[in-house]
Structure 1
Amino acid sequence: MSGTEKTKAHAEQAKGKAKEAMGRMAGNDRMTAEGHADQAKGNARRTKEDIKDTFRH
């Protein structure tokens, strides 16, 4: 996995976790859902890079 994409995936996952936690604390369902979506984007990015790495080797 390229370093930049790996970093982006981790950052997106962390951002999503933080946003989800803040949404839960504030009782804001929309923010919680957005945080969950950000985590899913990070997971998708990571999976995409893992698949690319599998075919490279």
Structure 2
Amino acid sequence: MRRSSRPRMRQLGATIATTQSAEIEKMKGWFDRWYSSPSLFMLENTVHPQVSGVRR
């Protein structure tokens, strides 16, 4: 966005960055709510030996 000399391109880049930053913060909030306990996160992402060949 800084490399362009075209004002519309610079504005588009700024809009994209702002929008994506807000979306990232929203997703971080979801993650914190869903996996507030590190042990729960680890359990959710640990493959049991009996189902090690199964992909999610």
The interval holding the TM-score normalised by the smaller chain is 0.5 to 0.7
Unaligned runs of 5+ in 2: 37-56
Unaligned runs of 5+ in 1: 1-19
Number of aligned positions between the proteins: 35
| Other-structure match for 1:47 | 25
Greater relative contact order (Cα < 8 A, sep 6+) = 1
Whose Rg is larger? 2
TM-score scaled by length of structure 2 = 0.52
Equivalents in 1 of 2:14, 2:3: separation in Å? 12
Q: Determine which structure has the larger helix proportion and give its number.
A: 1
Cα RMSD after superposing both structures: 1.2
Displaced runs of 4 or more, over 2 A = none
Residue identity over aligned pairs, in percent, reads 14
